[in-house]
Structure 1
Amino acid sequence: MFAYILRRLLMLIPVLFGISVFIFLIMKMIPGDVVSTILGTEATDEARSQLEKQFGLNLPIYQQYLQWMGGVLTGDFGVSLRTGKPILGDIISRFGLTLELTLLSAFISWIIAIPLGIVAALKRNTSTDFGVRIISLLGVSVPNFALATLLLLVLSLAFSYYPPAGYVSLFEEPMKNLQMMVLPAFVLGTAMAGAVMRMTRSSILEVLRQDFIRTIRAKGASERIVIFNHALKNAMIPILTIIGMQIGTLLGGTVIIEQIFSLPGLGQMVLTAINQRDYPVVQGAVLFIATVFVLINLFVDVLYSYLDPRITYK
């Protein structure tokens, strides 16, 4: 197992290298630059030249990339071209909010999707099953920003409820923090639940057809033991796969929800940096998210062997 984990960690090197090159080139292809944004319409050639030299934008592209990656490898993601603050510190502080929102959304998704998926599998081709499948289809089809906007409208117009303004850390005021996070987490969790629900249903149905389930039932085991001690555990591998992908995606995909609910997370930071042409911030944040994403996938792969002892890594 240790050798497998070590090999996977070494595989991160070419993956993250490719991601870093792709991010860097994409940033250079975006029209406009931070110098034009800062100087505005009154920019002179001398002022532009001075700022470009200050930011290192006058160097060849390959030198700019090597400079950036050299800093990243030593833990220095550079400084923001707009604020002059160290990028890594801002990323870590913003990442806490995004991680909290992601985990809370995932928890809401699981408590909705897995029980309903099990019920749909046990009540296959009944009205209950069709109802669950319709709910899962809506969860997959309705965009989370549309659901968020609709939810805010209903709560404000029908119940005169407005989410608290101004973000407060979970460690400072837990209750106020949860009041702020529960609505965006519910929106994201509902969207996640649709896919997990469908996967849970199909995985449970596949496992229930297998011979070892018939053997367990023939030995007189109760239906609860059959489902929760045997069927669900064996059905968790594809469910865990889609959950891991969703968590990784949410870490970099909460930007719209953060914008709607005015949450100063990592997604909002990246969006602001894109609008301001603050390339180092975008590059550093996306590379950070990509690293976390591949580490989550590695963690999910390791969990496979725990759920199914037949899976071994050499």
Structure 2
Amino acid sequence: MYAYITRRLLMLIPVLFGVSIFIFVMMRVVPGDVAMTILGTDATPESLAQLRKEFGLNLPLHQQYLNWMGGVLSGDFGESMRSGQAVLPDILSRFTITFELTLLSALISWIIAIPMGIIAAIRHNTKTDFSVRMVSLLGVSVPNFAMATVLILVLALFFSYSPPVGYIGFFEDPLRNLQILILPSLVLGTGMAGAVMRMTRSSVLEILRQDFIRTIRAKGARERVIIFDHALRNAMIPILTIIGMQVGTLLGGAVIIEQIFSLPGLGQLVLTAITQRDFTVVQGSVLFIAFVFVMINLLVDVLYSYLDPRINYK
């Protein structure tokens, strides 16, 4: 197991290297001049040249890349071209908000999806199963931004309630923090629940049709033991796979939801940096997101062996 984890960690190097090259090149091929964007109408040839020199934009591309990666390897993601602040502390502070939003959304999703998926599998081809499938289809089909917009309109028109604006840390005011995050978490969690519900239903249903389940039933085991100790445990691998992908995606930044609910998370940071052509912020954020996504995939792979002892990483 330890050898496998070590190999996977070593695989981070070429993956992150490829991501760094890709985002570096993409930011340079986007039309427009970042120095001109920053200076605006006050731009003069002298001020443009000075600003490009300050940011290192006058250097050859390979030299710019090497300078940036040299800083990254030493823990310095550079400074924002707009604010002049260090990029890494800003990423970490914004990531805390996105992480909390993702965690709460995932919990809501699991609480809704896994029990309903199990019930649908147990009551296969009944009205309950049909209802669960319809709900899951709606969760998968309706875009998050549409659901968020409708939710805000319904609360405003019928309950005269508007979502709180801004963000307060959990340890500063837990109740206020929950009040701020509950609505965006419900929107994201409902969307996640649709896919998890469908996967739970199909996986549990497939396991319940296996011969070893019939043998366990023939031995007189209780239905609760069959469902939770045998069927669900064996069905968890595909469920865990889709959960890992969804969590990784949300950690990458629920951009639209953060914009709608005015949450200063990582997604909003990246979107703002792209519109302002803030190279260092975009490059550092995307590289950080890639690192988090790969680590989540590694965690999911490790959990596989815990759920199924037959899986042995050597």
TM-score by length of 2: 0.99
User: Deviations 1:243-265 (Å, cap 9, x if unpaired)?
Assistant: 00000000123111011000010
User: Deviations 1:24-43 (Å, cap 9, x if unpaired)?
Assistant: 11111111132111211342
Tell me which residue corresponds to 1:219.
Answer: 219
> Secondary structure of 2:13's match?
helix
> For the Cα contact (< 8 Å) 2:108–2:189, is it kept in 1?
yes
Q: How does 1:16-31 map to 2 (within 5 A)?
A: 16-31=16-31
Tell me which residue corresponds to 2:194.
Answer: 194
Tell me which residue corresponds to 1:14.
Answer: 14
> For the Cα contact (< 8 Å) 2:113–2:194, is it kept in 1?
yes
d(CA) in 1 for partners of 2:309 and 2:177? Answer: 40
d(CA) in 2 for partners of 1:149 and 1:255? Answer: 14
Instruction: Using the TM superposition, give the Cα deviation of residue 165 of structure 1 relative to its aligned residue in structure 2, in angstroms.
Output: 2.3
d(CA) in 2 for partners of 1:288 and 1:191? Answer: 25
Tell me which residue corresponds to 1:123.
Answer: 123
d(CA) in 1 for partners of 2:166 and 2:67? Answer: 37
For 2:233, the aligned partner's letter is K
User: Deviations 1:32-87 (Å, cap 9, x if unpaired)?
Assistant: 13211121134221111110000000001111111111100110000000000000
Tell me which residue corresponds to 1:164.
Answer: 164
Instruction: Using the TM superposition, give the Cα deviation of residue 291 of structure 1 relative to its aligned residue in structure 2, in angstroms.
Output: 0.1
> Secondary structure of 1:171's match?
coil
> For the Cα contact (< 8 Å) 2:102–2:247, is it kept in 1?
yes
User: Deviations 1:190-217 (Å, cap 9, x if unpaired)?
Assistant: 0000100000001001111111111111
d(CA) in 1 for partners of 2:264 and 2:11? Answer: 33
d(CA) in 1 for partners of 2:165 and 2:295? Answer: 34
Q: Does 1:229 align with 2:245?
A: no
User: Deviations 1:80-128 (Å, cap 9, x if unpaired)?
Assistant: 0000000000000110000000000000000010011001111111111
d(CA) in 2 for partners of 1:188 and 1:85? Answer: 31
d(CA) in 1 for partners of 2:29 and 2:116? Answer: 46
Tell me which residue corresponds to 1:48.
Answer: 48
> Secondary structure of 1:263's match?
coil
User: Deviations 1:213-251 (Å, cap 9, x if unpaired)?
Assistant: 111111111111100111000000000000000000001
> For the Cα contact (< 8 Å) 2:55–2:81, is it kept in 1?
yes
User: Deviations 1:135-155 (Å, cap 9, x if unpaired)?
Assistant: 111111100000000000000
Tell me which residue corresponds to 2:264.
Answer: 264
Instruction: Using the TM superposition, give the Cα deviation of residue 182 of structure 1 relative to its aligned residue in structure 2, in angstroms.
Output: 0.3
Tell me which residue corresponds to 1:61.
Answer: 61
Q: Does 1:77 align with 2:77?
A: yes
Tell me which residue corresponds to 2:305.
Answer: 305
Tell me which residue corresponds to 1:287.
Answer: 287
Please say which of residues 210-219 and 186-195 is displaced more in the overlay: 210-219
> Secondary structure of 1:172's match?
coil
> For the Cα contact (< 8 Å) 2:166–2:264, is it kept in 1?
no
Tell me which residue corresponds to 1:151.
Answer: 151
Consecutive unaligned residues of structure 1, counting only runs of 5 or more, are: none
d(CA) in 2 for partners of 1:171 and 1:35? Answer: 40
> Secondary structure of 1:283's match?
helix
d(CA) in 2 for partners of 1:179 and 1:39? Answer: 40
d(CA) in 1 for partners of 2:231 and 2:130? Answer: 21
> For the Cα contact (< 8 Å) 2:253–2:268, is it kept in 1?
no
d(CA) in 2 for partners of 1:48 and 1:116? Answer: 60
Tell me which residue corresponds to 1:178.
Answer: 178
Q: Does 1:98 align with 2:98?
A: yes
Taking only aligned residues, the RMSD between alpha carbons, in angstroms, comes to 0.8
Instruction: Using the TM superposition, give the Cα deviation of residue 166 of structure 1 relative to its aligned residue in structure 2, in angstroms.
Output: 2.6
d(CA) in 2 for partners of 1:253 and 1:269? Answer: 9
Tell me which residue corresponds to 1:273.
Answer: 273
d(CA) in 2 for partners of 1:40 and 1:5? Answer: 49
> Secondary structure of 1:65's match?
helix
d(CA) in 2 for partners of 1:111 and 1:34? Answer: 46
Tell me which residue corresponds to 1:109.
Answer: 109
d(CA) in 1 for partners of 2:176 and 2:152? Answer: 18
